[in-house]
Amino acid sequence: MKGKTVGMIFVEGFADWEYGFLSASVVEWFGGRIVALTPGGGGVRSVSGLMLADCRDCRPEDNDDLNAIAVIGSDCWQAADAPDIAPLLRAVADRRGVVGGICGGTLALARAGLLENRRHTSNGRVWIADHLDSYPGQGLYRDVPHAVRDGNVVSAPGSAPASFAAEFLEALLPEREDMIVRLRALFASEHAAG
């Protein structure tokens, strides 16, 4: 994965548990690079109060080096005035990069039109309907507890950071399937009957 750069979009109150499997795997297993992005480029605090600083802005023109982008969940994505990151998400998708959203981050994907004609999931059919009256592709929603990948778009409920990471990496690095199989086994070993 030398040379692959993955952007992660964080907003205030981002979920601490949703990005670690992906960010650590990109760097440690595949030698890639993670770039933290926030709307406006300022620092944000996680839901547990940890501060994330030195972030890049979400303007497409500042991020043409990204091979992939992941939108990390936060209650902020549920607000009517949620940040509009659609231009960046579409720019990455248009150049055939991987675009992912976990938990509330799936709302940003839906608002950007990236779930149209793609199977996807989120925090539950009722949950996403409560936050978006309608969106292109809502008929392809899958009510499952794990990540769903359709082409270069990956979506997941907030309770599925491990399958989100694995599906995202499979979309980004299809030639590294052997390594991703090992990664999936490592993530699943915690839940194996003992």
Domains and CATH numbers, the chain: 5-182 (3.40.50.880)
DSSP code, position 32 = -
- Between CA 42 and CA 48 the distance in angstroms is 18
∠ Cα 168 12 165 (to 5°): 15
For residue 82, what are its two tokens?
Answer: 């949620």
Smallest CA-to-CA distance from 72 within 109, 102, 116 is with 102
Specify the pLDDT at position 3: 67
DSSP code, position 14 = B
Contact indicator for 44, 58 with CB cutoff of 8 Å: no
pLDDT of 138-181, one tens digit each? 999 999 999 999 999 999 999 999 999 999 999 999 999 999 99
Specify the pLDDT at position 1: 42
Residue reference for tokens 């769903």: 148
Sign (positive/negative) of CA torsion 86, 97, 5, 49? positive
Q: What is the pTM of this model?
A: 0.96
- Between CA 189 and CA 33 the distance in angstroms is 26
For residue 155, what are its two tokens?
Answer: 């979506």
- Between CA 6 and CA 32 the distance in angstroms is 8
Report the mean per-residue pLDDT for the chain: 95
